[in-house]
Chains A and B, each alone.
Chain A
Amino acid sequence: MWKTVLRRFLIMIPQLIILSMLVFLLAKMMPGDPFTGMINPNSDAREIARLRQAYGLNDPWWVQYCRWVGNMFHGDLGQSYIQHVPVASLIWDRAVNTFWLSLLTVLLTYSIAIPMGISAGRHQDEWQDQAIQIFNYITFAVPGFVFYILGIWLFSFTLGWFPISGSVSANASGFWGVLGSRLYHMILPAILYALITTTTIVQYLRTGIVDNKVEDYVRTARSKGVPENVVFHKHILRNSVLPIVAFLGNTITGLLSGSMIIESVFSYPGMGKLFLDSISQRDYTTLTALILLFGMLTLLGNLISDILLSIVDPRIRVK
C-alpha cells in the first residue's frame, strides 16, 4: 500500500518539473514583457533597458526559470500587471470563494447522483431507469451556459427567489449575516451546476451495477444464501463504485479550480472567473500562476484517485 503511494509520488516529481517548464516557456513566448505596457511616447528607452537588466529579463531563460521557481517556493508568484497586487493574495481570495461554491456543488452532486445511479441500475429498463435516462439525456445534451441562463431567467428573474449574480450582498453585516448572504448567493449556481455534473456519475454507477449484477461472483454470493439486499450492497455496489472512485480525486482538486462557465455566468468572483479575466486582460503573471496551479491540481487529483483506488481495489496495489 505505502509502496504504491510512494511510487506514485515519485512519478509526480518529473511531471511537475516538466509542467512548470512548459508553463514558463509558454509565458516567455508570449509577446511583450512586464514593461511593454509602460511604454508611452515619453518613455526613456534607456530607463526601460535598465529596468529589464535590473529585473533580470536579459538573463538566459534557465536562469530566469530557476529564479521563478525559487520565488515560488517562497510563496511569491509575482505581481498582477493589471490589479497591482501580489498574485498569491489575488488567488487566495478567489480560491476561498471557489472552494465554498464547489464544495456545495460536489455535496449536491453526489447526494443527487448516487441515489439516482443506484435506482437506475437496480431497476434497469423499468420506469425509474427510463425517467433517469431521460433526465440524463437532457442534462448531457443541453450546454451548461444555456442551462444556467435559463435557470437565472426562471428562478432569479421571473420568480425572484435567488440573486442574479455575485457572491455576497453589499449590505450584509455581522458574521451570520455575511455567511447567510454568501450561502444564499451560492444555492442557485450550486444546484444548476450539480444537475449538470450528475450525468457522468449516474451513468457510471448505472453501467457498473448493470454489468456487475450479472457477474458470476454475484451468482456465487446468491448460491451461498446471502440475502438479496446484502448481495446488492456488499457485492454489486462495492464493485460498481470503482469507476466513481477513480475520478473522485479530480473532484476534490476541482474544489479549488472551479468552473469558468458557471462563475462567469453568475459573475461569481472565483478562480474560474479570475482565469477568464486574466486571459481577456492579458494579465500574464496571474495567468501563468493559475495554469501552473491547475496543472498541479490535476496531478494531485490523479494521485489522490490512484491512492483511493488502491485502497478499494486490491488488484491494483503494487507488491
Chain B
Amino acid sequence: MDRQKDVLLDIQHLHTAYRLSGKFYDAADDINLTLKKDEILAIVGESGCGKSTIAASIIGLYDHKNTKVTGDILYKELNLVGLNENLFDKIRGNNIGMIFQDPLSSLNPLMRVGDQVAETLYYHTEMNEQERHARVIELFNQVGMPKPEEMYAMYPHELSGGLRQRVVIAIAIACKPEIIIADEPTTALDVTIQAQILDLLEDIQRQSHSGIILITHDLGVVAETADQVAVMYAGQIIEKADVKTIFGHPLHPYTRSLLNSMPQADDEEAADLHVIQGTVPSLKNMPRTGDRFAARIPWIPASAHESKPVMHEVAPGHLVRCTCYKEFHFQDQPAQEGAGA
C-alpha cells in the first residue's frame, strides 16, 4: 500500500498515433511506465524512437487534430488521457513542470524573463504582484542565477544558453510540481554547462522529492543522474531496469549496441567506435510485426526472434523485450561475445 502511494505517474498501454497522409501511425506503441516519488526515470533512445512523444502525451501538448492518444496515464487517481483542457491547464505548470530542449527558442523573445516565470505563478497561485516578484527572485537564486534582481528585467536574447535554461527550469519548478519532465534538457548546451544543469536538476529533486522523467539520447547523462532507465526503440520500450542493471548487465541487443557505441575515455583500444547498422525506420515504414530491431542485426537468425515480442521479466524489475537477447552476439567482435548473457 505504501509502495502504491509513492507512485506519481502510472502509464499503462499508452498508444500515441500521429496522422500522416490520412492514416494514423503509432509513434508510441504500448508504453508501460511508472514514475515514483524521489525518482529520476530516464527514457533513452535514438532520435525518432518516440521519447518526446511520451512526454507530449503526458503533458497533453500535441496537435489534437492529428494525434490519437489511447491507454491510461494516471497521475495519482486522475487519468490525463482525454482530460478536459481547462482542467489540464490547472495541472500543467502546477503539478507537472516541463523543461525543454532548446533554451534559445523556448522563451518568449518579447517578454522579460522574470515575467515569464511570474506568469506561471499568476495562473496557479493566489500571490499578488509583489509576492510573485519575490518568489521569482527566490527561484532565480535556487537555480543559481547571478544577480537575480537584475536578471528579472532581462530579455532572453541578453542571456547565455545556460542562463536561459536556468530560467526554463525556474518556470518548471515555480509551483513545486510533483512531476518534472525534462526533454533533452542539456542537448543544446556546452559540455561544462551540461554538467551544471544536471547537478541543478539533481539538487532540485533532492529538495522537492519530486519525480523526474529525463528524456535523453545521452547515455552519459543517464549514468550520471538516473535511478530507473527505460530504453526505447522504434516506439517501443525494449528494456527496463534500474540504472546499475542497465549499465552492468544489459540484455537487449539494442541496449548492448548503444552502450557499445559509447566512447570510453579510459579505453585506448576502443578508438574505433561501434556503429549500429542502418537507421531507425521512419514512422510510416516501421515494421508492425516481429522484432523491430531485427533488421539492424541481420546476422542473428530469424528463429532467435519471437514472432510477437513481449516483455519478459528476467529478474525482479528487469524487463526485456523478445527472447533474441539469448542468442545475440556482436558481429566481427567475438571478443565481446557473452558479455551480457
Question: What is the interface of chain A, defined by CB distance below 8 A to chain B?
Answer: 215-217, 219-228, 235, 238-239, 312-315
List of A residues within 8 angstroms of B168 by Cβ = 220
| Candidates A216, A221, A223; contact of B59 at CB < 8 Å | A223
Q: Is the CB of B91 within 8 A of A219?
A: no
Q: Is the CB of A219 within 8 A of B155?
A: no
Q: Is the CB of B155 within 8 A of A217?
A: no
Q: Is the CB of B107 within 8 A of A219?
A: no
B264 → A minimal CB distance (Å): 34
Which of these binds chain A: B18-26, B117-125, B303-311?
B117-125
CA distance A312 to B110 in the complex (A): 7
A177 → B minimal CB distance (Å): 49
Q: Is the CB of B106 within 8 A of A225?
A: no
Find the B residue at minimum CB distance from A221: B108
| Candidates B105, B108, B109, B124; contact of A225 at CB < 8 Å | B124
| Candidates A225, A239, A313; contact of B91 at CB < 8 Å | A225
Q: What are 8 contact pairs spanning A and B, CB under 8 A?
A: A216-B106, A217-B107, A220-B100, A223-B93, A225-B93, A227-B86, A312-B110, A313-B110
Q: Is the CB of A215 within 8 A of B105?
A: yes
A129 → B minimal CB distance (Å): 14
CA distance A238 to B116 in the complex (A): 14
B55-90 CB contacts (< 8 Å) to partner A? 59, 61, 85-86, 88-90
Q: Does B318 contact A (CB under 8 A)?
A: no
Find the B residue at minimum CB distance from A223: B98
Q: Is the CB of A226 within 8 A of B98?
A: no
List of B residues within 8 angstroms of A315 by Cβ = 109, 155, 157
List of A residues within 8 angstroms of B107 by Cβ = 217, 220
Q: Is the CB of A227 within 8 A of B61?
A: no
Find the B residue at minimum CB distance from A231: B89
List of A residues within 8 angstroms of B108 by Cβ = 217, 220-221, 235, 239
CA distance A290 to B168 in the complex (A): 54
- Given the interface contacts A225-B94, A315-B155, does A219 sit within 8 Å of B106 by beta carbon? yes
Chain B interface category by residue count: 20 to 34
Find the B residue at minimum CB distance from A317: B155
Q: Is the CB of A224 within 8 A of B110?
A: no
| Candidates B86, B90, B92; contact of A223 at CB < 8 Å | B92
Q: Is the CB of B171 within 8 A of A222?
A: no
By Cβ-Cβ distance, the 6 closest A-B pairs, closest first, are A225-B93, A224-B93, A216-B105, A225-B92, A223-B98, A216-B106
| Chain A proximity mask over B217-247: 1 for CB below 8 Å, otherwise 0 | 0000000000000000000000000000000
Q: Does B102 contact A (CB under 8 A)?
A: yes
| Candidates A216, A224, A239, A314; contact of B120 at CB < 8 Å | A224
CA distance A312 to B111 in the complex (A): 10
Q: Is the CB of A228 within 8 A of B85?
A: yes
List of B residues within 8 angstroms of A225 by Cβ = 88-94, 120, 123-124
List 10 other contacts, CB 8 Å, given A216-B102, A216-B105. A215-B105, A217-B106, A220-B107, A223-B97, A223-B100, A225-B123, A226-B93, A228-B85, A313-B110, A314-B155
CA distance A165 to B116 in the complex (A): 54
CA distance A224 to B59 in the complex (A): 10
B121 → A minimal CB distance (Å): 9
List of B residues within 8 angstroms of A217 by Cβ = 105-109
Q: Is the CB of B89 within 8 A of A238?
A: no
Find the A residue at minimum CB distance from B124: A225
CA distance A278 to B116 in the complex (A): 56
| Candidates A222, A235, A238; contact of B92 at CB < 8 Å | A222
Find the B residue at minimum CB distance from A220: B106
Q: Is the CB of A220 within 8 A of B92?
A: no
Find the A residue at minimum CB distance from B88: A225
Q: Is the CB of A219 within 8 A of B61?
A: yes
CA distance A219 to B85 in the complex (A): 15
Find the B residue at minimum CB distance from A239: B110
CA distance A235 to B105 in the complex (A): 13
B260 → A minimal CB distance (Å): 33
Q: Is the CB of B110 within 8 A of A238?
A: yes
Find the B residue at minimum CB distance from A235: B108
A283 → B minimal CB distance (Å): 48
List of A residues within 8 angstroms of B106 by Cβ = 216-217, 219-220
CA distance A105 to B5 in the complex (A): 66
CA distance A139 to B153 in the complex (A): 44
CA distance A227 to B102 in the complex (A): 23
- Given the interface contacts A223-B59, A224-B93, A238-B110, does A216 sit within 8 Å of B100 by beta carbon? yes
A53 → B minimal CB distance (Å): 63
CA distance A225 to B92 in the complex (A): 5
List of B residues within 8 angstroms of A235 by Cβ = 108
CA distance A226 to B118 in the complex (A): 12
A309 → B minimal CB distance (Å): 11
Q: Is the CB of B90 within 8 A of A314?
A: no
Q: Is the CB of B109 within 8 A of A227?
A: no
Q: Is the CB of A224 within 8 A of B171?
A: yes
CA distance A217 to B88 in the complex (A): 19
CA distance A239 to B93 in the complex (A): 22
CA distance A217 to B111 in the complex (A): 11
Chain A CB within 10 A, most for which of B86, B100, B110, B120: B110
